[in-house]
Structure 1
């Protein structure tokens, strides 16, 4: 497996002839907010009035989600990294819920002559929303192209990258930077709150595959993988700061489900309240569940959580997400080359930090099941 500094041969990505950056999507103007939310919630019977209410998060920012601009930045960074490394692999971008739509991007890729496509989903962890739903959307898009009589495409989703050094190391640095933003007298006693998207507890418990080493630990693969990331960052921060027993906890944000359905807790705002009551000096919020600073980071953390902390009189700082950090773009290149080598029958080095090791390449049929009804999914055994 090539090191980041090594320059791969142009054929190193074979059998892949393109990479698809697959993301969530977001509105880019006030008139797009409700139609976007209708796409996100299709089939759930949510009234339009409720969508308008939820849309206030977007209207507060002019109706523009930052996610598309951040994906454009990542797209450009990936293309630049590939070119600098001598990797001749075109990179495309498609979204699940807004333009550029996934089916349109795959149609463009087919028209450009691509047939074997590696897919990077902008979600690092196992779970229905973060993995299988992307694969279901891929299956839907491929079925649409087949119905149009287009050439068959094969798509392979790259493995979960939550514990890849290129994802972990930028987050360690971001945590240290956030700590340094606090007043000097608060840094040693500052606690760490690792945040990710809350999901229904039933979905968390069913996340992962039966043979996944993270399965069987409390909380299933989704929680286990986040805990592994939090522990890696905490250990590195302890080494860098000399504070060995800094308190930390995995907390959640962005709950959107019905009140009677149990979701993962505690919520970040509730956590801040409890920690202030228990005498915490300061808290650093680290959004390990997100690749970029999109709306759920900007609103739920930078707006709601920061306002709650101010109300409590609790000093807080927020670590940046990975975004288009060069170490992350290099990690994506490594993941492409790793999977390509595996497809060619080789046994490449699979970079991963911590006890859980590198995730599986191909998802099992019963991996992260759809909570509503079984649906076809691409890139599975």
Structure 2
């Protein structure tokens, strides 16, 4: 869901919530009831033995699978991506003897974590750029002095799910290597990025020292994340996992759902990206604009030449009549009189014909 401040009123938010509760069809999927979720987890679990504080059981199997997929010697599963990435950047800072880390100004670190890197770990943030695009090697070169690490968010979600090209990524990784600074990939949606990059997960991960991946976004897991990299770095990350209170007594429900996402959803990423490209073209033919065009992943932004409160009301009315949920909450765009929403293509989206989705969105402009 979009993080930006919504332009709609409390009444519209309440009305959307009520309409969503009555929906029977969802373009981007829905959260299953608790009991049904637990039954599904029981059906797909492969281990009878629980993990203990993240050791053994389904968690160990998941860590092995992730390490193999990413071509790294080791991986550690953690309940949250915030703790996972704080941990690995703290490891790099302690090793380098400097608190300076280079990040994008629109990265999740700076936009949604309450200044955790600075407040908790006293890291000093060096912004590569704040433009809605991936950073360039010259912007890294413009930051003088010693750096503990450089991070890339693939894709850059708050920039509109944008990726570099493969050649751009190789050049940027080379610039980090030439400077002798570790490159860390914030790959919350890395699973979704390989169709555009046209290289495997292992080939992408090979360009970086460490990689973070998430399991509850594109893969549809309950929660959780992993950091993969050299065994000694991962071992230190495990120590910070404990220090940050992230080694909870057992993590098996999250690991079970993550492994199921790897089995069922990961193989669909190419198809999901292709459907996003098709949907973006259809929406543009019906009065909308999209960014990026064409989409780099299975997710992209849809812009409408209508104020947010008007199109949000139209979306709610349609939900009430059709019992179909087609979009998240519409947000006010930077251009006055325009609005935008994120469209995330999931396995559920594949059941909707492209022309039906385009027609449903077009009805919002006609209302």
TM over 0.5: no
TM superposition score category, shorter chain reference: 0.3 to 0.5
